[in-house]
């Protein structure tokens, strides 16, 4: 069957005024694991075109705040969200977070980051793992105790190693392939909750329950 970008979820997203069909992946994750609540502070990594931030905005409400970061500009105006067009690796992220009014430590770090695919499977998988490691390092630095980390990975031989790494840092690690994922896609999502900081000295203010 030929690839059809304008499938059911594409049309549903357009009808409901979401920026992309990927909104339904986060929606399913949230409905299953209850990761977003009113007042939460959220980092959205790989945020373009903005559908995850749109969904998170509705869930965290007026008291919550979202900061979305992506290499691509995000053409959305959301009252409780700010967007930065930059390479995450080049940012002074702590300064950026504080500039945009996000309270530290944050409650949730979301990562829908994905490499620009080359069609070479091993290359794409390796780059996907590298982005997951970058997202995890960000979560370790800015996530509150017992906070939540969601990350997309292109399934590969690195799957178990990355999951074990998450298990050493979080009290619960689940995986999900959302129903809205295209059949040909190799992506899978990790949902890691109950973050446990590695060292007691790190971010003492954020390490109290």
- 202 located within any domain: no
C-beta of residue 57 within 8 angstroms of C-beta of residue 80: yes
- 44 located within any domain: yes
Residues spanned by the domain of 134: 22-197
- 89 located within any domain: yes
C-beta of residue 164 within 8 angstroms of C-beta of residue 136: no
Please identify which of the residues 14, 62, 152, 198 carries the catalytic annotation: 152
The confidence score (pLDDT) of residue 199 equals 56
Active site residue 11: no
pLDDT in tens, the chain (209 residues): 344 557 877 888 888 777 678 889 999 999 999 999 999 999 999 999 999 999 999 999 999 999 999 999 999 999 999 999 999 999 999 999 999 999 999 999 999 998 776 777 788 788 889 999 999 999 999 999 999 999 999 888 888 999 999 999 999 999 999 887 878 778 999 999 999 977 544 444 443 33
C-beta of residue 158 within 8 angstroms of C-beta of residue 129: yes
pTM value? 0.87
Q: Which residues pair with 66 in a beta bridge?
A: 42, 81
C-beta of residue 120 within 8 angstroms of C-beta of residue 178: no
The confidence score (pLDDT) of residue 183 equals 80
Distance CA 169, CA 172 (A): 9
- 7 located within any domain: no
* Cα dihedral across residues 181, 183, 186, 192: positive or negative: positive
The confidence score (pLDDT) of residue 200 equals 40
Order of strands across the sheet with 187-195? 81-85, 65-70, 41-45, 106-111, 143-154, 187-195, 170-176
- 10 located within any domain: no
Q: What is the CATH number of the domain that holds 157?
A: 3.40.50.150
- 209 located within any domain: no
Number of domains in the chain: 1
Query: Pairing mode, if any, of strands 65-70 and 41-45?
Result: parallel
The confidence score (pLDDT) of residue 4 equals 57
- 13 located within any domain: no
The confidence score (pLDDT) of residue 158 equals 86
- 26 located within any domain: yes
């Amino acid at each position: 069957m030929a690839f059809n970008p304008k499938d059911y979820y594409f049309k549903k997203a357009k009808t409901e005024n979401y920026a992309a069909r990927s909104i339904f992946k986060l929606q399913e994750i949230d409905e299953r694991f209850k990761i977003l609540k009113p007042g939460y502070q959220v980092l959205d990594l790989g945020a373009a075109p903005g559908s995850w931030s749109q969904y998170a905005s509705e869930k965290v409400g007026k008291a919550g705040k979202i900061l979305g970061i992506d290499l691509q500009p995000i053409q959305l105006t959301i009252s409780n969200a700010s967007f930065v067009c930059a390479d995450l690796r080049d940012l002074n992220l702590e300064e950026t977070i504080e500039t945009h009014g996000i309270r530290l430590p944050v409650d949730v770090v979301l990562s829908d980051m994905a490499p620009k695919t080359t069609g070479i499977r091993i290359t794409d998988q390796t780059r996907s793992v590298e982005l997951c490691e970058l997202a995890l390092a960000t979560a370790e630095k800015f996530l509150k105790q017992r906070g939540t980390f969601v990350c997309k990975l292109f399934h590969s031989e690195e799957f178990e190693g990355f999951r074990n790494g998450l298990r050493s840092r979080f009290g619960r690690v689940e995986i999900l392939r959302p129903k809205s994922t295209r059949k040909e896609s190799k992506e899978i999502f990790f949902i890691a909750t109950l973050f446990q900081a590695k060292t007691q000295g790190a971010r003492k203010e954020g390490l109290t329950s």
